[in-house]
Amino acid sequence: MNIYSLITAFYYVIVLYFAVMLFWQLITQKQLSMQIAIAIALIPFILRLLYIK
Amino acid sequence: MERQTVLRGILVLLLVVAVATPAALAFIRQRQPDLILKGPGVTRVGKLSEYFDGIKGTANDPDYYLFEGPEKGGTMIVWGGTHPVEPAGYLAPILMIENMKVTRGRLFLIPQINISSFGNTKIGIGDVDSFTIPTPFGSRKFRFGGRGTNPIDQWPDPDVYTNPITGQSLAGDESRNFNRVHPGHPRGYLTERLSYALMQMIRNEKADVTIDLHEAPPDRPLVNAFAVHERAVDLASLAILNLEAQGIKVRLEMSPKFLRGLSHREVGDHTQAMAILMEAFSPYHGPLRGRADEAHLLTAKDSFLVLASKMGRTSVKVPPEGVPIDVRVARHVTSIVEVANALTELTPERGIKIEGAPPYEGMVKNGIGAYLKQPPVGNQRN
């Protein structure tokens, strides 16, 4: 493991944190329009976590 | 937390995921390896990580194909796919793998060296992600990738990339450009480790010659040219004379001593090999170009480039009929064969004899598809 692997690991922890927070907002937000916006914002985080893009 | 809100939130997320799924599948599909059919002359197929385990198990551990003749001679290492936006650079070794054999010496071919870079395309450019070569049995499909290691495999880019060996500083994303990170570093970025593995291969196999295959857009000076390290000048000059005798014009460019990180400089400086980089014509990845679709990539018919050429803004004349991929690949294949012939002529004890490579005239007249092998049924990537 080198410094770049550590940075990448830390990055994925940050991505996971934001994904969980966004998901929490998604299921507690009462406005439908906000839920749609949050779901769209959540997609890049899910793709990153799944190592797709 | 209201149950209805939770269920609605999950439903919305599932709908958005459904919309995003086709794009996600396209990204995943881009990582499927290209089909390369082992020809009768291939002695062995291996992984570059055999020379440096720092790339083992990573997304950048490409295959090499060894051709070993019964007669002892020299060793040549040829790689394409440094930049997967330059398809002649990797189609030439693929054609050779599927057709030729070596009767003297050893030839290592690495058709897709920066294999990670085939898994993505340049961001925001709208490039095609693949192209199809027509063949007598149908067609063969190949990926068209990016210019640097996939950011999913090497992240983050620094603000400024400083080559750890040469000290040359460049824009941050050049840390993923395989032809800027040489001679590599065993504990560096993934692309630097890939370069280090290649250098180890060149040293361990005691390679006499290395060739790095590229394409360049006509607004740059290095088109239809060899960029050579000073120790490779005699070899390259003899090969160019033999190519000219066949009507194939090639310019010889000396590798600048202060332009660092490129293969023709660093392989020559850091290993015993004579380093050559070959450039064919590219219609596609320069700033001057027409619509970047598959036909444009394969034919290089481009009225914008023709106009630029007439205005004297290109380093080579761009003909209205284009420069088909068949011509670009044919130049590379024939140039590799002629470098091997020149090595045999200059140092007979270290000679390399290549037989069965597709002939220049045949590739130009019949198309390179005529020399691609038919995949077994059910093994076609489409």
For residue A43, give the nearest of B1, B16, B156 by CB distance.
B16
Q: Does residue B381 surpass a pLDDT of 60?
A: no
pLDDT above 90 coverage of chain B, percent: 90
pLDDT above 70 coverage of chain B, percent: 99
Q: How many residues does chain A have?
A: 53
Tokens encoding B257: 């001593």
Residue found under tokens 């063949």: B135
- Out of B46-50, B282-286, B335-339, B340-344, least confident range: B282-286
The domain total for chain A is 1
Q: What angle do CA B134, B140, B143 make, to 5 degrees?
A: 120
| B162-165: long-range pairs with CB below 8 Å, 24+ | B163/B260, B163/B261, B164/B188, B164/B192, B165/B266, B165/B270
For residue B9, give the nearest of A26, A46, A53 by CB distance.
A26
For residue A27, give the nearest of B1, B156, B190 by CB distance.
B1
Tokens encoding B226: 């060899």
pLDDT at residue B122, rounded to an integer:
84
pLDDT at residue B199, rounded to an integer:
98
Q: Per residue in B252-279, pLDDT tens?
A: 999 999 999 999 999 999 999 999 999 9
pLDDT at residue B382, rounded to an integer:
43
Hey, is the C-beta of A5 within 8 angstroms of any chain B C-beta?
no
Chain centre to alpha carbon of residue B232: 21
**How far, in Å, CA of B162 to CA of B139, rounded?**
43
- Test B28 with A52 for CB contact under 8 angstroms: yes
Between residues 9 and 28 of chain A, which touch chain B (CB distance below 8 Å)?
11, 23, 26-28
Tokens encoding B235: 């070899």
Hey, is the C-beta of A51 within 8 angstroms of any chain B C-beta?
yes
- Which of A45, A46, A40, A15 is closest to B12 using CA atoms? A40
Q: Which residue of A has its CA nearest to B6?
A: A27
- Asked whether the CA dihedral B130, B284, B96, B369 is positive or negative, the reply is positive
Tokens encoding B188: 């560096």
Query: Is-contact B175 B158, C-beta < 8 A?
Result: yes
Q: Which residues in chain A have Cβ-Cβ distances shorter than 8 Å to B24?
A: 47, 50, 52-53
Query: Is-contact B314 B219, C-beta < 8 A?
Result: yes
Residue found under tokens 């444009």: B296
- Whether residue B183 is preceded by a cis peptide bond, meaning omega within 30 degrees of 0, is yes
pLDDT at residue B253, rounded to an integer:
96
The Cβ of residue B249 has, within 10 Å, a number of other Cβ atoms equal to 12
- State the Cα torsion B223-B227-B233-B234 to the nearest 10°: -50
Hey, is the C-beta of A2 within 8 angstroms of any chain B C-beta?
yes
Query: Is-contact B273 B207, C-beta < 8 A?
Result: yes
**How far, in Å, CA of A39 to CA of B5, rounded?**
13
Mean of all residue pLDDT scores within chain A: 91
Complex ipTM above 0.90?
no
The Cβ of residue A6 has, within 10 Å, a number of other Cβ atoms equal to 10
Q: Which domain holds residue A43?
A: 3-49
Q: What are phi and psi of B95, to 5 degrees?
A: -60, -40
- Test A52 with B155 for CB contact under 8 angstroms: no
pLDDT at residue B378, rounded to an integer:
66
Going by pLDDT thresholds of 50, 70 and 90, the confidence category of residue B206 is very high
Mean of all residue pLDDT scores within chain B: 95
Cβ contacts of A13 within 8 Å, gap of 6 or more: none
pLDDT at residue B290, rounded to an integer:
85
Tell me, yes or no, if the pTM score tops 0.90.
Answer: yes
pLDDT at residue B242, rounded to an integer:
97
pLDDT at residue A18, rounded to an integer:
97
Q: Which residues in chain A land under pLDDT 50? A: none
Hey, is the C-beta of A31 within 8 angstroms of any chain B C-beta?
no
Distance (Å) of CA B286 to CA A39, B215, B294, B353: 38, 10, 16, 36
- Which of B27, B9, B123, B2 is closest to A41 using CA atoms? B9
